[in-house]
Amino acid sequence: MNKLESPVVSQLCPNCVAVVSQLKRRAFSLIEVIVATLLLAIAAAGATSLVSASLRSLSDAQDSWRSEHLLSVAAEHYLLSGPNVPLPGGILPEGYQVSCSVIAAPVPAGEDPETYAQPINGWLPGRYQIRLSRDGRDIGDLNVDKLVPESEL
């Protein structure tokens, strides 16, 4: 028997027993606290995992956009200036390299290869192959078909 539940205490302070019994009902047991803490930890781990996956996805999207943007800038330069004119300094970030070569464009399906490869006024269908690399590893390429002077092939 608890001291507060004794007959003497209940006669002297009848409200004390009621207050103590209410406090006992309001308090959480150790098991309840452990379960609540465990649920909170699981929710925190899930949120951390979600944030980590979002950051990885954002980083991948930024890398992809950067590659496409740099390829686009290089393509504009080579298409306007020619395949042998180097890019001006400062266009590419450190560690990035770009190369451009011109080859004969592949013959489209349904076209006669001999007729397709005949120059017209000194011009032939050509393909600009623009490759972007970072630290020696290819990260993107872009092919642009256009008419080029015979001398470029």
The string of pLDDT tens digits covering residues 118-138 is 888 999 999 999 999 999 899
Q: What is the pLDDT of residue 18?
A: 65
Is 19 inside any structural domain?
Answer: no
Range of the domain at 75: 30-152
Is 39 inside any structural domain?
Answer: yes
Is 136 inside any structural domain?
Answer: yes
126 and 103 in contact (C-beta within 8 Å)?
Answer: yes
Q: Which are the contacts of 87, defined by CB distance < 8 A and separation ≥ 6?
A: 74, 77, 98
Please state the length of the chain.
153
Is 108 inside any structural domain?
Answer: yes
Residue type present at position 87: L
**Beta-bridge partners for 101:** 129
Give the pLDDT band (50/70/90) at residue 116. confident
**Total tally of structural domains belonging to the chain:** 1
* Section 75-94 average pLDDT: 91
pTM equals: 0.65
Is 16 inside any structural domain?
Answer: no
